[in-house]
Amino acid sequence: MFGKRTTKSSSRGKAAAAPFDRAKFATALGTVMLVLILSSVAVGFTLGFEPLEARAIRILNGSKPVSVSIAWPMMDAANADSKSNDAKSSATAKPTPRSTKPAGKTWLPEQFQEQLLETATRALGDARDPYSREALRLVGESMQRSGWFDTTPTIVRRSGGDVHVEGTWRVGAAVVKQGSKLVLVSWNAKPMPVEYDLDTKLGSLSVITGVNSPLPKTLSGAIDFSQTWAGSDLEAGLELLALVSKQPWRDQIQSVDVSKYPRTKQLEVQTARGGRIVWGGRPTAPLPGETSTREKLDKLAWLNRQYKSIDGGRLAIEISGQRPFEIDVSATSASVAGAKGQ
């Protein structure tokens, strides 16, 4: 009996003394790690990567509140991408805006800055999770609908819980008279979210009158800022304004009348002194028998040199014909002044 037990004990000792097999251990460990990785991928597909991503971002940001910042359009386009020109608005999980003035000079009035910050912050708060991709999408869509951007702006999440908005800004070109209001439009004939009363002093902005088509609207009746104003009359008026805005006498232009354009393809200009200039066809498409656009500009330059006014001090002047000038001979400088005083 004792001999047999001694023999078994000796066998166990030999087994325990067997060398450690590193290769087998490495293979087993690799198998376990592969199973864990595949399990994580399966969980990701089951639960979705977005919640995991949002949770990771939230952990990295710690207790900092989510916020919105917008790269405002600058007076100097070269500085438009400068981070020091950003304005930020802090927010909680359901954010509330707090306006701060931008460090640089922007042409966008503070009133509209605050409105845009409120719009973006509200969109961020509408998301189920302000750290999610859905939140970025909602902010981008709200900015595109705002009427201040030409295309959907870029929305990125930066360190510290900051949701940053940056894009190509729509620039106001003129105002269009619509009933008792003046509506701001961009150079590509899209409406912008700015309205003025008829008696508002507009500074360098000119008025386009006689536009036949109404404002583009959504199905709900709101202004659709994403749509170009229908009709070629406004487009033609903006083309003429773009041309005259480069001239040294541009401040004399008060308005462009496009009311006759659908029928006759003619444009007229109203000067700040009350004179009316029949320009004719749009600059890129003069009408048959008309003088060239270059010759029309030369005529106005000559009048400005001679009379210090592009309307020559007349109530009406026609510059589109081949003859040097067709002027209403009954009009004088005094009659222009009298007409303005009425």
At 294-328, the pLDDT tens digits run: 999 999 999 999 999 999 888 999 998 866 555 54
Number of domains into which the chain is organized: 2
Please name the residue that has the structure tokens 């509408």.
126
Largest CA distance in the chain: 145
> In the chain, which ranges are E strands?
67-71, 86-90, 154-158, 162-166, 172-178, 181-186, 191-197, 206-209, 253-257, 267-271, 276-280, 316-318, 326-327
Q: Residues of the chain with pLDDT > 90: what percent? A: 48
Is residue 67 domain-shared with residue 152, that is, in the same domain? yes
Q: Over 60: is that where the pLDDT of 242 sits?
A: yes
- What average pLDDT does range 215-222 have in this prediction? 90
- pTM strictly above 0.75: no
Q: Six-digit token pair at 170?
A: 């729509």
Q: Give residue 159's pLDDT band: very low, low, confident or very high (50, 70, 90).
A: confident
Helix spans in 208-286 (H): 232-244, 261-264
Is residue 317 domain-shared with residue 227, that is, in the same domain? yes
Is residue 311 domain-shared with residue 235, that is, in the same domain? yes
Is residue 335 domain-shared with residue 289, that is, in the same domain? yes
Whether 21 is covered by a domain: the verdict is no
Distances, alpha carbon 197 to alpha carbons 148, 182, 183, 204, 238, in Å: 20, 6, 9, 16, 21
Whether 216 is covered by a domain: the verdict is yes
Examine the fold and report which residue of 97, 131, 166 is the final residue of a domain before the chain moves on: 166
- Contact by Cβ (8 Å): 258, 236: yes
Q: Residue 216 is part of which domain span?
A: 172-341
Q: Give residue 52's pLDDT band: very low, low, confident or very high (50, 70, 90).
A: low
What is the domain-level CATH number for residue 267?
A: 3.40.50
Is residue 195 domain-shared with residue 246, that is, in the same domain? yes
Is residue 183 domain-shared with residue 133, that is, in the same domain? no
Q: Give residue 100's pLDDT band: very low, low, confident or very high (50, 70, 90).
A: very low
Which pLDDT belongs to residue 135? 87
Better pLDDT: 213 or 129: 213
Whether 19 is covered by a domain: the verdict is no
Which pLDDT belongs to residue 92? 30
Q: Over 80: is that where the pLDDT of 273 sits?
A: yes
Is residue 288 domain-shared with residue 191, that is, in the same domain? yes
Whether 49 is covered by a domain: the verdict is no
Please give the backbone phi and psi of residue 96, each rounded to the nearest 5 degrees, phi first: -125, 135
Estimate the crossing angle of helix 49-61 against helix 133-145, to 10 degrees: 90
Q: Over 90: is that where the pLDDT of 84 sits?
A: no
- Torsion sign (Cα): 213, 244, 180, 275: negative
Is residue 228 domain-shared with residue 267, that is, in the same domain? yes
